Structure 1
Amino acid sequence: MSTLATFHPLTKLRPFKNKWRVQVKTHMAKVQRALPLGKWGVIENVQMNPAGGKYRTTRHPYKMAISDETVIRGSDLADDRIFLSLSNYESIGKTDKKEFVYLIDVIGRVHDLGDVLTVKAQGEDRKRVEFRLVDSQGNDLPCCLWGTYAEQIEAFIEKCDDRTFVCLIRFAKVTFFRGEVQITNAFDASRMYLNPTEPGKSTGKKDGKRIQYDWNDAEIKPISEIMDATKVEICKIICTIEAIDTDWAWFYFGCDRHSKKVNKLANIDYEEMKRIDKPKFHCEICNAIVTHVSPKFKLHVVVKDDTETCSLMLLGSVAKSIVGVKVDDLWDGSYGEIEDPEILPEPIRNLVGKSFCFGVSINSENVSSGSATFLVLEVCSEDKVVSIESGYEAISEMGTTSSTMSSGGVKDDADLPDLTSTSKKLCTKVIKQEKAKTD
């Protein structure tokens, strides 16, 4: 039996005994002798006491008591998960004072950033900065940071000269100020990240620019359950493609440097057009006019299982793994807009009726905003299971896109807005396959 089997999950810890043995990752530097910040460690022989007081870091009813009998040592476990649990802005705004005893994780874009000021607080000079955090739905929360957190923002502004950026605050404190809910740092316990690259990653390891997920450990869930999900996570669903959603184009044009969507420029001079063999596009990431663009898969499908129906979006190599051919082989070479979305390449039409095991991301838009569109991160091969009708063996080594974050996700293959279309109805039309005629 693996030694990992002897570790107890934190949710099972209770005061009835002291011989608990856990493997944990440290997020706050309170016990530093063998549990450095951000590292995994093993703790044995801990007593559990009732958790109480203001500003509790978790909702667990008990807390660990480190005594002289407690043994703490390092662990060789390699797992880069940050176990982020982002709070919903609307829920924060409706929370009563009794709920303010818990610290929260919150992320948003910084707006109305004030100057970093030095003020008198409790008889000492301390730096303070005020701003508002805005999520992807336009909800906003006032935020006030003190001390080293204000200094961190001050240094960031001086370095990049940008007063609009994304701010992630872990273990933030929720208070009332002037009759309004306010986010602030919880003394020195909070952790802040400015323009984080992968803040919403719920699981997986970072490998260069790609995140590798352990899909063997991901739970298989029915569609009805992911539609009612209450937390950000990854999971697997086994489903059948019922329709190709032709409300969306099956590809987009992306910059060849990073695959992000580009916008075609209008009103280009005719003489200029004669000097180039393709139209010009503007790339927001490169902040330049580019011509090195190509089509990228962005496939929307409607899927069903025995419980429910939902929409999935497959990007880049993930879509290619089920279509079976490169997007360039299906593209007609035109840079113009699609005139008839019902006209689909045969390999895409042939997907209707086939079944797969998809690894999907349940992101904050699905949880907090009710979006019924889920991003497919992987076509899974659960113990080498092949897709039910196609006979296609899913490839677990295909590249995947990165996960999302609360106020706009980060993806390798496309832009975000499609995932946030909460009011979009599910496609009900099914692209049927023609049966071969027999003599």
Structure 2
Amino acid sequence: MSQFNVVSASSSFRPTRHAFELNFMLRTRIALSDDDGSIHHFGFSFVEAQRIISGELDPNILVDVIGRVYNMSQVHQSSPNDSKNKRVTVDIEDAAKTKMGITLWGSYADQIVNFVSKGCQGPVVIVCQFCKIEEYARTRSLSTSMYATRILINSDVEEITQFHKGLLPEDRNTPFNPFVGCALLTTSPTEAAFSGLALSPVDLLQHSGNGDVICVIAQVLQVNKEKGWYKIEVVVYDEFGIANLTVFDRNAFNYLGITATDLGAESGKIYLNVEDNDGWPKKLDSFVGKKFIFKVGIEVLEWNVFTFLTVQKMTDNPTILYKYSVHCLPQIDLTSVMDDLTTPDMNKSKQLLRGDGRRLSFHDVEASPSKETPSTCKRSATDLSDDGQSSGEFMMNIDDALKKVKIEKN
């Protein structure tokens, strides 16, 4: 190589821990040379799976692992023509007997599928070089990087040969368990978002830890009109409890088919033409009474013991609802316990204003100075506990709403 630059590897996300990197330019020249046996072809730097799982390693730096494949999932793909979103998960066991999952995407998924289709005999050892450390619901695993990752499966390289030699007799005689034929399982992006999550009752939302991701099926009781800043706040319930969930513009758009900006403009026109209109977009009332499956992220601020329940994904797709409904806990007759239901402690369930930059506000609100900070024009966290209804008023409104449901059911 000639005419290239050597610069400091200062970016936070990079494939290796090397202090420097090479920059190729238009005048850079590269030519093949004779093989030099002293230079390793791949330059592996393997790490133990336990170091990845424990969170010891920097997730911004790609890692190399080697292990025996003992399980393989079906191939998931959003559509037959969407090969980039094809994925398959393999579970490996390293030399220390620590198990870990690796998600292979796109062409990397094709690589393992093609290997399996040829019919493999005996143990399968895989090397995954330059993989990303992913964390989901406090569980760490690996995923392929878009262009950097290299996959070697039972290849004729020294590291794989030595790993085979170190396998115990029971490992050599136990092939991994792939889905025969690796049939394509077409999965929509929405369904894939709920994959791997167990169904939980609503009351578990108030008792989960910071960073948890909980999946619930619940019915929308009401949309809080006082909570229209950057979000929609919906009150949902199931047989076991009630909770306030924050829904941001993206998920609201997927259901309503209209963005917050367009909905606000539409509502403003109606407000100008109708004297008794309260400025509330009537389309938001379409949430009420509907049953959804929610993927909810939990965030707890220790300093004020607030629990924020943010909807990461939601759908009323009947197919997805049915798949999860078969795993529902035994139902309780709501008419027999309706009067005993109470809302969670509002000091612990207030929803923080935490958005993605788009404001779900449908008419101009002139907020008092006590509700905004001069620098950001956003409500401070200390004001959240005093905003809107008190806990007692909220509980009375919920009780009234639930009694109406009870009367209607009777």
Which of the pair has more CA radius of gyration? Answer: 2
> Would you tell me which structure has more strand in proportion to its own residues?
1
TM-score category, normalised to shorter length = 0.3 to 0.5
> Would you tell me which structure has more helix in proportion to its own residues?
2
Q: How high is the TM-score relative to the length of structure 2?
A: 0.35
Q: How high is the TM-score relative to the length of structure 1?
A: 0.33
